Amino acid sequence: MPENKLYPPEGLSAPVPLTLSALRDAQSSGAVLEAAALRCDAALCLHFQFGSVTARMPREEVTAPWITGAGRDIAVLSRVGKPVCFTVTDLSADAKGAPVALLSRKQAQEDAITALEALLRPGSVVTGRIVGMEPFGAFVDIGRGIVALLPTAYISAARIRHPWERFQIGQKILAGVKSLDRASHRITLTHRELLGTWLENASLFAPGDTVQGIVRGIQDYGAFIELTPNLSGLTDRRDDLHEGDAVSVNIRSLRPERMKVKLQVIERLPPLPAPEPLRYWITDGVLERWVQGRAPQGAATVPLERWVYSPANFEGEAAETVFTPVP
């Protein structure tokens, strides 16, 4: 299981009926619940309705205290119609005797960041949910609405111009912690390391196969075609090819000793309606480092690619997993 399994991103928890009894239990136990905010009033308070229970979340209880400035108000407004995690801080009755609940997302986030910063370290594999995208990267909820940045350059080995070429808003992903600044509560993620080595991805194909690909780069000497997010091949340059085009290609050769794939474009295809589903080769544990290199000149072996990582529940030194092609 990913390292943040006890603190799921907003929108990934199984829905539960939020009855008055359930709210009382949550207030007593401190349990974190989740529901969509129905509206935000002029005072930037969020409003909810749970059957006969009217609930309110004051502005100061919507976001964690380390979010400041204009971004704080935007963070409040953006919760309308979206899942919001919360603790129940008070239950009372209005003038007519109807139950009223007071909620806090801030408390849930403060508890989560304290636990996550104690648990996570660079290399920790976490579950995330895409909540925003800009050309420079994707914003990923890694637990209780705590957002980390996944820079575009770290999304895959194959170069992309924008995260929307790989993700969709609301998509569940896995990622690794690249850096963790506890003083500012800033977390940066990486993603490409979980998508498999060159050799693992190449093992999915064979010379003679005709498969679908995406044009990711065009140079004077040819075009680079993505077969998987971590595997691309080279084809001859064609004037009718453009970056982002979907194409069918024939695999002419796979050369593990040089980590190269030679392709031939068959035809252009209609645009893909959505990014292809991702295949993860590592789904838990802690990545220690990435080691990649070619075999010494004249050696009979192929390039050495390996992850050195600690699987979940592994005690002792990091385990070294070496991926080599089948002879």
Give domain limits for the chain. 20-113, 119-195, 198-269, 286-323
> CB-based burial of residue 28 (10 Å sphere; 0-12 exposed, 13-18 middle, 19+ buried)?
exposed
Residue 66 has pLDDT above 50, yes or no: yes
Predicted pLDDT of residue 14:
85
3-state secondary structure of 129: strand
Residue 297 has pLDDT above 80, yes or no: no
**Exposure of 161 in the CB half-sphere (CA atoms within 13 A):** 6
Q: Bigger pLDDT: 136 or 272?
A: 136
Residue 303 has pLDDT above 50, yes or no: no
Percent of the chain with pLDDT over 70: 87
**Across the chain, what does the average pLDDT equal?**
87
Task: Give the chain's largest Cα–Cα span.
Answer: 87
CA 294 – CA 256 distance, rounded (Å): 9
pLDDT in tens, 251-293: 999 998 888 999 999 999 999 888 889 999 999 888 876 554 4
- 198-269 has CATH 1.20.1560.10 classification: no
CA 57 – CA 89 distance, rounded (Å): 10
CA 142 – CA 144 distance, rounded (Å): 7
Predicted pLDDT of residue 289:
64
> CB-based burial of residue 71 (10 Å sphere; 0-12 exposed, 13-18 middle, 19+ buried)?
exposed
Q: How confident is the model at residue 2 (pLDDT cuts 50, 70, 90)?
A: confident
pLDDT in tens, 226-240: 999 999 999 999 999
Tokens for 224?
A: 């680079």
3-state secondary structure of 210: strand
- Residue owning tokens 């969509």: 36
Record the pTM.
0.86
How are strands ordered across the β-sheet holding 319-323?
A: 286-293, 304-310, 319-323
- What distance lies between CA 162 and its chain's CA centroid? 14
> CB-based burial of residue 133 (10 Å sphere; 0-12 exposed, 13-18 middle, 19+ buried)?
buried
CA 46 – CA 18 distance, rounded (Å): 17
Helices assigned H by DSSP within 205-266: none
CATH ID of 20-113, from 2.40.50.140, 3.90.550.10, 3.30.56.10, 2.60.260.20 = 2.40.50.140
Tokens for 135?
A: 């050309």
pLDDT in tens, 71-87: 788 889 999 999 999 99
Mean pLDDT of 24-44: 96
CATH superfamily of 119-195: Nucleic acid-binding proteins (2.40.50.140)
Q: Do domains 20-113 and 119-195 have the same CATH topology?
A: yes
